[in-house]
Structure 1
Amino acid sequence: MTSATQPSPAAGPFASAPGEATLDRISAVRVSLVRLPLHAPISDAKVLTGRQKPLTEIAFLFARISTEDGHEGIGFGYSKRAGGPGLYAHAKEIAPELIGEDPSDTGRLWQKLVWAGASMGRSGLTTQAIAAFDIALWDLKARRAGLPLAKLLGAHRDSVRCYNTSGGYLSMPVEQVLENTSLSLSRGIGGIKIKVGQPDTRTDLRRVRAVREHIGDDVPLMVDANQQWDRTVAARMGRALEEFDLTWIEEPLDAYDSEGHAALAAALDTPVATGEMLTSVAEHTDLIMNGAADFIQPDAPRVGGITPFLQIMALADHKSLSMAPHFAMEIHLHLAAAYPRATWVEHFEWLEPMFNERLELRDGRMIVPSRPGLGLSLSDQAAAWTSDETEVSG
Structure 2
Amino acid sequence: MRIVAIRDIVSPIRSNIANAYIDFSQMTASVVAVVTDAMVDGKPVVGFGFNSNGRYAQHGLLGERFIPRLSQAKPDSLLDGEGLIDPARCWAAMMANEKPGGHGERSVAVGVLDMAIWDAVAKAKRVPLWKLLADRYNGGQADEKAWVYAAGGYYYPGKGLAGLQDEMKHYLGLGYSCVKMKVGGVPLAEDLKRIEAVLEIVGAGERLAVDVNGKFDLTTAIEFGRAIRDFGLRWYEEPLDPLDYLAHAALATEYAPPLATGENLFSMQDARNLIRHGGLRPDRDILQYDPALSYGLVEYLRTIEMLKAHGWSPRRCVPHGGHQFALNIAVGLQCGGNESYPQVFAPFGGFADDCAVVDGRVSLPDAPGIGFERKADLWAVMKEIA
1:127–1:55 CA distance, 2 compared to 1 (3 A):
same
Shifted more, 96-105 versus 190-199: the winner is 96-105
Aligned residue type for 1:334: N
Aligned to 2:307: 316
Alpha-carbon offset, residue 192 of structure 1: 0.6
- Where in structure 1 are there 5+ consecutive unaligned residues? 1-23, 48-52
Q: Secondary structure at the match of 2:339?
A: strand
Alpha-carbon offset, residue 175 of structure 1: 1.6
1:329–1:180 CA distance, 2 compared to 1 (3 A):
same
Question: What CA distance in whole angstroms lies between the structure 2 residues aligned with 1:384 and 1:34?
Answer: 14
Question: What CA distance in whole angstroms lies between the structure 2 residues aligned with 1:126 and 1:341?
Answer: 26
1:113–1:381 CA distance, 2 compared to 1 (3 A):
same
Q: Does 1:43 align with 2:52?
A: no
Alpha-carbon offset, residue 302 of structure 1: 1.0
Q: Secondary structure at the match of 2:35?
A: strand
1:222–1:87 CA distance, 2 compared to 1 (3 A):
farther
Q: Secondary structure at the match of 2:51?
A: strand
Question: What CA distance in whole angstroms lies between the structure 1 residues aligned with 2:344 and 2:183?
Answer: 21
Residue from 130, 135, 138 that aligns with 2:115: 135
Aligned to 2:264: 277
1:98–1:208 CA distance, 2 compared to 1 (3 A):
farther
Alpha-carbon offset, residue 95 of structure 1: 3.9
1:256–1:366 CA distance, 2 compared to 1 (3 A):
same
Identity of aligned residues (%): 27
Residue from 130, 147, 169 that aligns with 2:154: 169
Q: Secondary structure at the match of 1:65?
A: strand
Alpha-carbon offset, residue 62 of structure 1: 1.8
In 2, are the aligned partners of 1:61 and 1:76 still within 8 Å (CA)?
Answer: yes
1:137–1:363 CA distance, 2 compared to 1 (3 A):
same
Q: Does 1:148 align with 2:144?
A: no
In 2, are the aligned partners of 1:336 and 1:345 still within 8 Å (CA)?
Answer: no
1:1-394 equivalent positions in 2, closer than 5 A: 24=1, 26-38=2-14, 40-47=15-22, 53-69=23-39, 70-78=44-52, 80=54, 82-90=56-64, 91-98=66-73, 100=75, 101-102=78-79, 103-116=84-97, 118=98, 123-154=103-134, 155-166=141-152, 168-171=153-156, 172-217=159-204, 220-293=207-280, 294-318=285-309, 319-321=311-313, 322-340=316-334, 342-350=336-344, 353=347, 357-358=352-353, 359-377=355-373
**What is the RMSD computed on CA atoms of the aligned residues?**
2.9
In 1, are the aligned partners of 2:52 and 2:323 still within 8 Å (CA)?
Answer: no
**Higher strand proportion, which one?**
1
Question: What CA distance in whole angstroms lies between the structure 1 residues aligned with 2:360 and 2:338?
Answer: 10
Question: What CA distance in whole angstroms lies between the structure 1 residues aligned with 2:58 and 2:259?
Answer: 30
1:74–1:207 CA distance, 2 compared to 1 (3 A):
same
**So what's the TM-score if we normalise by structure 2?**
0.83
Question: What CA distance in whole angstroms lies between the structure 2 residues aligned with 1:382 and 1:150?
Answer: 20
In 1, are the aligned partners of 2:205 and 2:233 still within 8 Å (CA)?
Answer: no
Question: What CA distance in whole angstroms lies between the structure 1 residues aligned with 2:234 and 2:214?
Answer: 18
In 1, are the aligned partners of 2:177 and 2:360 still within 8 Å (CA)?
Answer: yes
1:261–1:314 CA distance, 2 compared to 1 (3 A):
same
1:177–1:380 CA distance, 2 compared to 1 (3 A):
closer
Task: State the number of aligned residues.
Answer: 357
1:218–1:183 CA distance, 2 compared to 1 (3 A):
same
Question: What CA distance in whole angstroms lies between the structure 2 residues aligned with 1:343 and 1:382?
Answer: 22
Alpha-carbon offset, residue 348 of structure 1: 4.2
Cα deviation 1:152-206 (Å, max 9, x = unaligned): 111431211111113x002242221110111111111121100000341111111
Q: Relative contact order: is structure 1 or structure 2 higher (C-alpha 8 Å, sep ≥ 6)?
A: 1
1:239–1:57 CA distance, 2 compared to 1 (3 A):
same
Cα deviation 1:247-278 (Å, max 9, x = unaligned): 11110000101121122224322211111111
Question: What CA distance in whole angstroms lies between the structure 2 residues aligned with 1:152 and 1:296?
Answer: 23
In 1, are the aligned partners of 2:13 and 2:347 still within 8 Å (CA)?
Answer: no
In 1, are the aligned partners of 2:21 and 2:185 still within 8 Å (CA)?
Answer: no
Cα deviation 1:195-246 (Å, max 9, x = unaligned): 0003411111111111112210176110000111110111111121111111
Q: Secondary structure at the match of 1:42?
A: coil
Alpha-carbon offset, residue 340 of structure 1: 4.0
Aligned to 2:137: none
Question: What CA distance in whole angstroms lies between the structure 2 residues aligned with 1:43 and 1:65?
Answer: 36
In 1, are the aligned partners of 2:70 and 2:90 still within 8 Å (CA)?
Answer: no
Question: What CA distance in whole angstroms lies between the structure 2 residues aligned with 1:146 and 1:356?
Answer: 20
- Where in structure 2 are there 5+ consecutive unaligned residues? 135-140
Cα deviation 1:21-55 (Å, max 9, x = unaligned): xxx3x2313222231341x51111114xxxxx553
Aligned residue type for 2:130: A
In 2, are the aligned partners of 1:313 and 1:339 still within 8 Å (CA)?
Answer: no
Question: What CA distance in whole angstroms lies between the structure 1 residues aligned with 2:362 and 2:117?
Answer: 24
